[in-house]
A and B are shown apart, each in its own frame.
Chain A
Amino acid sequence: MIQIKDLHKSYHMGSNSLHVLKGINFDVKEGELVSIMGSSGSGKSTLLNILGMLDEADTGSYILDNVPIKGLNEKIAAKYRNEFLGFIFQSFNLINYKSALDNVSMPLYYKGIKRKERTERAMHYLEKVGLAQWSHHLPSELSGGQKQRVAIARALASDPKVLLADEPTGALDTKTSYEVMELIQGINDEGKTILVVTHEHDIAQMTKRIVNLKDGVIIDDSKVEQVRASQYV
């Protein structure tokens, strides 16, 4: 699903150059649930941004679902993001003046799907995350866990190939974190490829594979025995 070869990325700040990613090689197969770990500054967020086509690598190749991602203009990048990727953010990033339902249907809106079908599909995903009765509430009327579940529904709405979660539990308490992870595991069980960036070991243990980043290189990449979140809930 994802093939990355020799990925380099540096940031330039004035005369200083910061080499963030120093040759990343890694593959993700369909249906995997991978966590990317590392201390801050290890380059994990940069890697996720490149995977999410929000940022572009300096050198190296990135192939997503057999499509080489290179030299995209913003228009095509936007199209690919819409088709291939679903984003889950630490701070949820819901649009605060739109109801949960409207938030979930946004990717479908940008996909150009008619309103009726859009609402149906958005409703379906809201049901899936257990928030059907909250569909007309604004984000400000939802709890943190509920917001993240809306965000997950939104990420799922356009039926992407890969879900990218950037610290999905970073802003949640432990109990809610496990609930969210349970949901993510459930989605993975259905076959969706998911990448989770985290620095919490218990969260990482709930994935199937942990990739450890340090100073821009992968120092460890190993399969783990998945801990089911449901046992904590």
Chain B
Amino acid sequence: MFSKDRWNEILEALNANKFRTFLTAFGVFWGITILVLLLALTNGLKNGVMSDFGDFATNSMFMWTQGTSKPYKGLPKGRYFNYKIDDVAAIKNQVPNLKYVSPRNQLGGFRGNNNVIRGTKTGAFEIYGDYPEYIKQQPMDIIDGRFLSYSDIEAKRKICVVGTGVVKGLYDKDEDVLGTYIKINGVNFLVVGTFKMSNSRGDGEQDANTIYIPFTTFGQAFNRGDRVGWMAITAVDGIPITSIKKQVFELMKSRHKVHPEDDRAIGHFDLSEQFERINGLFSILTIVGYFVGALVLMSGIIGISNIMLIVVKERTKEIGIRRALGASPWTIKSQILQESLILTILSGMVGISFAALVIWIMNTILDNAGPVENFANPSVSMQVVFTALIILVVSGVLAGLIPANSATKMKPVDALRIE
């Protein structure tokens, strides 16, 4: 279909009126630029907002206890209770489709009192009692040494894994960290690893000022026994935690003599639900992006169609001559179609490239100026580029259809008569 001759024919025709070709192409160029930029900005917004979730496994929820609000089985309302370590095993055994159930305890808080001492240095850090699975829910990079292990849990070893902020606060530069001891609330812990959060954003300082110790050690050393502060529960992939959480709550209610309808007794934060909500929001934004972009593109397409109609009208005589020389109607039609197609695709490609350039500049500026709230790394995937190209091809054909038909509607004898 596309021989070299065809190309020459088409390029010659487009070259015959360069300025008009340029103006026509500009409409489509602009349309596709806006389409791609809109999608890239949507993506940037999405990346920005999603990064607030950090790397935490999104199909998760956190669950803690609150005071009961209904009397039940002779127990008064306003009663406080705690999860026990047995609850974890019960949840794991009785609720299917859960991937991780991590009980957690915490000491200290964000900018709390000084609670850690090493030699003459002190610092206020967050201390968490955790199980080894926790690193799977909250990915972190172990810089040195190791994370907690099950033998630590079983032996209740007094070891700890510290964040980069802790190292900065308690150690001199170039000092060996592993194998040293730090004193947490008066208890000595051996440092076996250092970590930093992968892709840390926002809560960076807090994350870095964190110390992880084995859950069991925490209970023994800080007098918590087998009580559990809260749990981080992750469901298996493909089954949203939102659909499972009710079973977990019911189990907890029955184990702690809470009224089955007492929804206030168990507090929780459903990360998956929040994540889905925002995901849904951005799906809609993406659709809006496509829609608005396509509308802008459409005016470009109509421009092409319009100009091609004028071109066909102007070339009526030329078309008559070509037909007198033996061009079949289909030859003429396909030439008009291909002219519009090539015009559309070429200007579209330039538009996509231009949009890519703008995106690149945006990213460079963002990289240099530092992170902006709720906006990061605007980009489009190859899929979007291909979709845009398909839209271009389809619209190029559509743009050429009416002009191509009108080109052969006139009888050659009438076409030749036009001056």
Contacts and interface: CB of A to CB of B under 8 A. Distances in A.
B416 to A, nearest CB: 7
B177 to A, nearest CB: 76
A89 B412 CA distance: 14
Interface string B317-334: 110011111111111000
A115 interface: yes
Contacts of A78: 323, 326-329, 331
Contacts of B15: 97
A49 B16 CA distance: 30
B329 A89 contact: no
Contact of A52 (B12, B318, B324, B330): B324
B317 A93 contact: yes
B12 A98 contact: yes
Contacts of A106: 322, 325
Interface residues of B, number: 26
Given A75-B330, A95-B318, A110-B331, A87 B413 contact: no
B408 interface: yes
Nearest to A92: B321
A74 B12 contact: no
Contacts of B327: 78, 110
Contacts of B16: 97
B329 A75 contact: yes
A207 interface: no
B326 A93 contact: no
A5 to B, nearest CB: 22
A107 B411 CA distance: 19
Counting contact residues on chain A (CB < 8 A from B), the size range is: 20 to 34
Given A54-B411, A55-B413, A89-B416, A74 B326 contact: no
A134 interface: no
B13 to A, nearest CB: 8
Nearest to B408: A74
Interface string B7-29: 00100110110000000000000
B173 interface: no
Given A74-B408, A95-B318, A98-B12, A54 B328 contact: no
Contacts of A115: 4-5
Given A54-B411, A54-B412, A87 B325 contact: yes
B12 A54 contact: no
A224 to B, nearest CB: 29
Interface string B295-322: 0000000000000000000000110011
A19 interface: no
A97 B325 contact: no
Contacts of B324: 52, 54, 81, 87, 93
Interface in B220-241: none
A67 B331 CA distance: 24
Interface string A62-78: 00000000000011001
Contacts of B412: 54
A111 B328 CA distance: 10
B416 A82 contact: no
A110 B416 contact: no
Given A78-B326, A78-B331, A97-B13, 9 more contacts: A49-B413, A54-B412, A79-B328, A82-B326, A106-B322, A107-B325, A109-B9, A110-B322, A110-B327
Instruction: Report the 5 A-B pairs with minimum CB-CB distance, sorted nearest first.
Output: A82-B326, A54-B413, A110-B326, A78-B328, A97-B16
Interface of B: 4-5, 9, 12-13, 15-16, 317-318, 321-331, 408, 411-413, 416, 419
